[in-house]
Chains A and B, each alone.
Chain A
Amino acid sequence: MIAPDPSPRTASHDGPGPDDGDSPGDHAAAKRRFLRDAAASVRDTDHRAFVRRALGGYYATRDAQKARYRDWEQARDAASLAKWSAVNRLDELLPRFEAAFTANGGVIHWARDADEARRIVLDLLRAVRARAVIKSKCMTSEEIHLNAAMEADGYGVVESDLGEFIQQLRGEPPYHFVFPCMHVRRGEISDLFTRHLGSPPTDDPEELTMIARRHMRRLYVEADVGITGANFLVAETGQISITENEGNARLTAGLPRVHIAIAGIEKVVERLDDLAVLLPMLATAGTGQPLTCYNTLYSGPRRAGECDGPEEMHVVLLDNRRSAILADPEQRDSLHCIRCGACLNVCPIFKNVGGFTYGTTYQGPIGSVITPHLRGLADWNHLSGASSLCGACTDACPVRIDIHHHLLHNRRNAARTAPNRWERLGHRLFAAVATRPWLFALAGRIGRFTLPVARWLRPPLLAQWLESRDLPAAPRHSFRSQWRSRRRGA
C-alpha cells in the first residue's frame, strides 16, 4: 500500500456535501473556501505562469490538428448529434448495452449512487479474493472516492497513470481531469520519487517517467484486479471503449484476472460507427493529437482461443444524480460531455484560480455546470458565478455543449430556489430610481458628488471591489445634460 504524503487537501478537498445528495447545514462553506483559495491562487503569479506555459504547447498542437479536419465545424455537429441521439434514448440504449455486453460474457452492475457503487466494487474484490488492485485513470472512481474505501478495507491500490500516480503519492486529487499533475514541477516529482521509491534525484522528465515505468511493471504482473473507467459504451456491440496514451489502461485491463470498469450511464453511444467521429475528436480537442496512443474496445473476458486476458469482466453503471441532469431538458446536453478537458484548457478562470480551487471532481467550466446537479445547487451555485461568460468553453467544446449559457441557467435557477434578499432589494431600488427621471437625475447628482469621496474613503462595501480596480473619475456633467447642451450647440 502506498502511504501518501500528508496533505491538507485529502481531507478537506471535497468540502461540504456528500457526493450523493444535498447536505444540510452550512451552504456557504464551499463558497467561502472557493473565494479564499481563488484569492490565494490569483496572487501566486509563479503558479499561474507555470500553468499557462504548460498549456502553451497544447494550443499549438490542437490548432495544427484541427487544421487537418476537412471541416471541423461540421465534424462537431456530427459528434454533437451522436451524443444527442444517445443521451435522449438512454432508456432504450442502456438495456441494449447490457444485453450485448452480457451476451459477450461480461457482468453488469447498476449503482444508484456513490455508496452503492463502492459497495459493488468492494463486494467484487472480496468475492474474487483480491489482494492487489491496479487502476488506470478513472474520474468516476474519483467521484465516488473509491480509493479511500478500498484502502479502508485493506486493499493495496496503485494508480498506474503517471499523473495520477504522482497525485496519489502527493496525497492530492487530480488538478485537471485530463492532466492530473500539470501544476507540479519536475523538481517536486524528483523529490517525491526519491522519498517514496528511493530513486536518485533527476531533472529529466524522461528519466522520471522511466522510474515510474520500472516501479509499475511488477505491480501490473502481480495485481489480481484491474480497475478502469470507460470513455464510451457501445450499445450495438456491448463493447466499452477506453482512450489513453501511456498503455497503462491496456496493461490494467489485460494482465489481472479480473477487470472492473466504472462508467457513468451517460457514456452510452448507439453504434460502433459513432466512434469513428468521437475518438479522433476527443483526442484533438483534449490533447491536440490525431488519436490518442491507445484506443481500445473491450467486449468481455478472455474468449476461448485467446491466450490471455481476464477471467471476469464487470461494468458498473453509475447514476449518482446523472438522471437528475437528464430530467432537466434545458441542461440535458451537459451529459454529452466526453471529458476531453478542452473547456478547462481555454478557460480564463481555470488558468487563474487553478484546478484545486473548484473543490470538485470535475473542474473548470463543465464542472461548474454539472457539479450543482451532482452535489446540490445550494452548495455549488457559486461556481456558476466564477465565469466571465466569455464563451471560450462553448467554442472549444467538440460536442457543442452550450456551456456558458448553462452557467447562466444555473445562476437563474439558484436565484429562483434561494433568492438573495439583498440582491433583490438592490434590483428593486434600481428599478424604482431608473423608472423616475427626476429621481434618476437626483441619484446621478449625488453619485457625481460622492464618487471622489468614495475613492478616497474606500467604504467597506466597496473596499473589496477596489482591491484590484480603480473607481473612474466622476464626470462633471451627466450624460443627459451633455446631450441637451450638444443638441443646442448643433
Chain B
Amino acid sequence: MTNPPAGARSARDTILARVREALALPAPRPHLHHHAAEAVTAPGALPILAAETARPWLPDGGDTPAERMNILVENLGKLRAVVHRLPDMTAAAELVFALARERDWRRVAWHRHPLVEPLLAGLPCATHCVDASAVPPGDGSAKDALESCDAGITACDALVAQTGSILVSSATCGGRGLSVLPHVHVVIATHDQVVGTLGDALDDARQRHAGRWPSMLSFITGPSRTGDIERILVLGAHGPRELIVAIVG
C-alpha cells in the first residue's frame, strides 16, 4: 500500500475548509413539484426523504412472490436474457449438460457453491472445468484461465424483479472476473431469491453482509451491451454476450 504523498493532508484541509466556508450560506430548498414535500422531515431541518417513501413512485416490483416472478421473467426477456424455470437441481444439471453439448463448450468456469457444484457432475467429459475459487490470488494465470472459458457458472445473491437484475458479489459468487470474463454467463438461482425492488436487494445485501461488505457488489441487468456505434444496440460489448438464468423451484 502506498502512503499518501506529502502535502495530501493540507489538500484535504484546504478542500474541507473551502467546503465549510461555501456552505456557510444556505441554499434555497429545492422546488418540489408534488407531494414529496409532505414526506420531508421536521420543518427547518434538512429535507431527507426516507427511501421507503420513494418506492411507490418507482417502477413496480410486485407485491406477492408470484407477481415478482412474473415481473422478473418479463423484464429478463426484454433485456434479451434467457430464463429457464426448472423444477429441481436435476433439471438444472440437465440444462447445463445440454448447453455444453450443443455449443461444444471446451472450458467452463465455476466457483464453489452448493448450487453450482451439482451442475458440474453432469458436464460432458470433454469439458474442462476451471475452479475460479481455487486459483491463488495474485496469480496472473488466473485471468488467462478465466478469459479462455466459453462459459462461467455462478450463483447469485438476489434476483430483482423491478429491473430484471441479478445481484452478484465478489465474496459469494466467485470473485470479480467470473461473471464478466467468460463469453456466456449462466446464473443458477432459487425461486426464493427473487426480491421486489432494488431497495429490497440493497436491504438484503446489508443484512447478509452485516457490516463486512464484499469488495464488489454488482447488479447485472441483461447481457453486456453497447450503443456506441450509431446508437445501434449490440450485445456482448466487453462482458458476456449471453446471460442465461436458471431459476429452480
Q: Which residues does A use to contact B, with CB under 8 Å?
A: 54-55, 57-58, 68-78, 80-82, 84-85, 87-91, 94-95, 104, 107-112, 116, 119-120, 123-124, 127-128, 160-163, 166, 179-182, 184-186, 189, 205-206, 208-210, 212-213, 216-217, 220-221, 237-239, 245-248, 250-251, 253-255, 257, 265, 270-277, 279-280, 287, 289-303, 305-309, 311-314, 317, 319, 323-324, 326-327, 329-330, 332-333, 400, 402
* 20 sample A-B contacts, Cβ–Cβ < 8 Å, listed by A number: A75-B57, A77-B30, A78-B36, A89-B23, A91-B19, A161-B228, A179-B231, A182-B231, A253-B216, A280-B59, A290-B79, A291-B165, A291-B198, A295-B219, A297-B216, A298-B216, A303-B215, A307-B137, A319-B18, A332-B27
Q: Is the CB of A209 within 8 A of B221?
A: no
* B5 touches A (CB below 8 Å): yes
Q: How far is the CB of A396 from chain B (nearest CB, A)?
A: 14
Encode B193-206 as 1/0 by CB contact (under 8 A) with A: 00001110011001
Whether the Cβ atoms of B197 and A250 lie closer than 8 Å is: no
Judge whether B171 and A305 touch: CB under 8 Å.
yes
Q: Which residues of the partner chain B approach A330 to less than 8 Å between Cβ atoms?
A: 27-28
Residues 120-171 of B at the A interface (beta carbon under 8 Å): 132-135, 137-138, 140, 142-144, 147, 162-165, 170-171
A109 B4 Cβ-Cβ under 8 A: yes
Please, which residues of chain A bring their CB within 8 A of the CB of B219? 279, 291, 294-296
Residues of B within 8 A of A327 (CB): 18, 21-22, 25
B137 contacts across to A, CB distance below 8 A:
302, 306-309
Q: Is the CB of B237 within 8 A of A306?
A: no
* Of the residues A221, A280, A299, A402, contact of B198 by C-beta under 8 Å: A280
Check A84 against B228 for contact (C-beta < 8 Å).
Answer: no
Check if A273 sits within 8 Å of B34, measured CB to CB. no
Nearest residue (CB) in B for A272 is B202
Q: Is the pair A274, B51 in contact by a Cβ cutoff of 8 Å?
A: yes
A182-B230, A248-B238 given; 8 more Cβ-contact pairs under 8 Å = A81-B30, A81-B36, A209-B236, A245-B237, A296-B219, A307-B135, A308-B170, A326-B22
Which residue in B26, B59, B135 is a CB contact (below 8 Å) of A88?
A: B26
Chain B, Cβ-Cβ closest to A302: B215
Contact B23 A91 (CB under 8 A): yes
Query: Does B85 sit at the interface, judged by CB under 8 A?
Result: no
Q: How far is the CB of A293 from chain B (nearest CB, A)?
A: 5
Q: Given A110-B8, A116-B11, A291-B219 in contact, is the A208-B238 Cβ separation under 8 Å?
A: no
On whether A333 and B27 interact (CB within 8 A), knowing A91-B16, A245-B226, A294-B218, the answer reads yes
Q: Report if B106 contacts A (CB, 8 A).
A: no
Which residue of the partner chain B has the closest CB to A126?
Answer: B2
Contact across chains for B237 and A71 when beta carbons are under 8 A apart = no
B23 to chain A, nearest CB (A): 6
Total number of A-B contacts with CB less than 8 angstroms? 354
Residues of B within 8 A of A298 (CB): 215-216
Q: What distance in Å separates the Cβ of A415 from its nearest Cβ neighbour in chain B? A: 22
A297 to B206, CA, bound (A): 13
Check if B232 is an interface residue, CB within 8 A of chain A. yes
* Chain B: number of interface residues, binned into ranges: 35 or more
Q: In the docked arrangement, what's the CA distance between A188 and B27, Å? A: 47
Cβ A78 vs Cβ B53 within 8 A: yes
Q: Are A272 and B206 in contact (CB under 8 A)?
A: yes
Query: Could you say which residues of chain A place their CB within 8 Å of the CB of B198?
Result: 275-276, 279-280, 291
Q: Which of A205, A250, A324 lies in contact with B230, CB distance below 8 A? A: A205
A residues in contact with B215, CB < 8 Å:
104, 298-303, 306, 309, 313
- Check A58 against B46 for contact (C-beta < 8 Å): no
CB distance from B167 to the nearest CB of A (A): 10
